[in-house]
């Protein structure tokens, strides 16, 4: 008998928790059933997910964790299709799997990785303190396998429901930005491919005080992170200018008064 290759997915398989997933495994030409053995295993624990041996499935050989959840398409096995259906996915199912095919003469296998689609958003858990006219960065990091094109990210000011920034359909939607933040709020575009949706807010104003939310939407649900901005009033430069103005103003007034008095005297 000629040698055979076992084929599987070229990319990691992404699935949702509580759903079902197909783990592909096949050969191009059917193999003799009388000498065929197919073993599905986890690579991290060597737990047997399922076994086909002596022309039939062997559920009694399964790890208890996969009992009644993993099954072959038995009618497809004579055709060289050894794919596995895994039901009721949990986070514990995430990881690497291998499909090993044995005959009397040789064996071959394919490896694959399964990821659970999840959505986690993180940021800073501390308030941001800033003086007027300073720039601040509000952190927002998205942890998910969901493609960027399927994510929607909003930065909003929660007390007034003002939209500062919007990322949707794979691009920044500048036209949706509230005019109060035009030219002041922006994403770090180079960070977006890495799912960094932090926001830079320029020229802080007293009225910028409040809570801001980075809210992320996907087909699987939504998640968010919030942060507080607490303005500290005027910066040291502003205070210096104010003090200088207060100090100079009396001198200007005195000078003007003396000039006026001298003019009247003439």
Tokens of residue 135, six digits: 């720039």
- Residue 232 has a CB neighbour count (10 Å cut-off) of 12
- Measured between alpha carbons, how far is residue 101 from residues 23, 30, 38, 41 in Å? 14, 12, 5, 11
> Residue 247: pLDDT above 60?
no
pLDDT in tens, 98-151: 999 999 989 999 999 999 888 899 999 899 999 999 999 999 999 988 889 999
In the chain, ranges of CATH 2.60.40.10 domains: 13-117, 119-231
What is the three-state SS of 216-251? Answer: EEECCEEEEEEEEEEECCCCHHHHHHHHHHHHHHHH
pLDDT in tens, 43-84: 988 889 999 999 999 999 999 999 999 999 999 999 999 999
The pLDDT, as a whole number, for residue 161 is 87
240 — pLDDT class (breaks 50, 70, 90)? very low
pLDDT in tens, 184-239: 999 999 999 999 999 999 999 989 999 999 999 998 789 999 999 998 765 454 44
**Helices marked H in the chain — which ranges?**
236-265
Spatial distance between the Cα atoms of 208 and 137, rounded to a whole number of angstroms: 13
- Cα end-to-end span (Å), the chain: 124
Q: What is the assigned CATH class of domain 119-231?
A: mainly beta
Across the range 156-176, mean pLDDT stands at 94
What pTM, to 2 d.p., does this model score? 0.61
Across the range 154-172, mean pLDDT stands at 95
Estimate to the nearest angstrom the gap between the alpha carbon of 129 and the chain centroid.
27
Estimate to the nearest angstrom the gap between the alpha carbon of 262 and the chain centroid.
74
The pLDDT, as a whole number, for residue 258 is 58
Pick the CATH number of 13-117 from 1.10.3720.10, 2.60.40.10, 3.30.565.10, 1.10.760.10: 2.60.40.10
């Amino acid at each position: 008998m000629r040698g055979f290759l076992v084929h599987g997915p070229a990319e990691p398989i992404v699935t949702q928790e509580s759903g079902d997933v197909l783990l592909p495994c096949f050969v191009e030409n059917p193999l003799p059933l009388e000498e065929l053995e197919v073993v599905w295993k986890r690579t991290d624990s060597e737990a047997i997910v399922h076994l086909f041996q002596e022309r039939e499935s062997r559920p009694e050989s399964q790890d208890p964790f996969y009992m009644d959840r993993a099954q072959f398409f038995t009618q497809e096995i004579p055709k060289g299709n050894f794919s596995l259906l895994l039901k009721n996915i949990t986070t514990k199912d995430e990881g690497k799997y291998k499909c090993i095919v044995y005959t009397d003469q040789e064996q071959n296998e394919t490896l694959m990785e399964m990821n659970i689609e999840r959505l986690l958003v993180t940021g800073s858990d501390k308030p941001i303190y800033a003086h007027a006219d300073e720039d601040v960065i509000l952190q927002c990091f998205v942890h998910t396998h969901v493609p960027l094109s399927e994510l929607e990210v909003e930065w909003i000011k929660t007390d007034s429901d003002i939209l500062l920034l919007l990322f949707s359909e794979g691009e920044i939607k500048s036209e949706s930005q509230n005019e109060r933040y035009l030219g002041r709020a922006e994403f770090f575009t180079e960070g977006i491919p890495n799912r960094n949706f932090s926001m830079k807010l320029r020229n802080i104003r007293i009225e910028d005080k409040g809570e801001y939310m980075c809210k992320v939407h996907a087909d699987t649900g939504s998640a968010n992170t919030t942060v507080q901005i607490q303005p500290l009033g005027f910066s040291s430069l502003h205070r210096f200018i104010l003090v200088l103005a207060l100090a100079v103003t009396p001198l200007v007034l005195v000078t003007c008064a003396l000039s006026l008095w001298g003019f009247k005297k003439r």
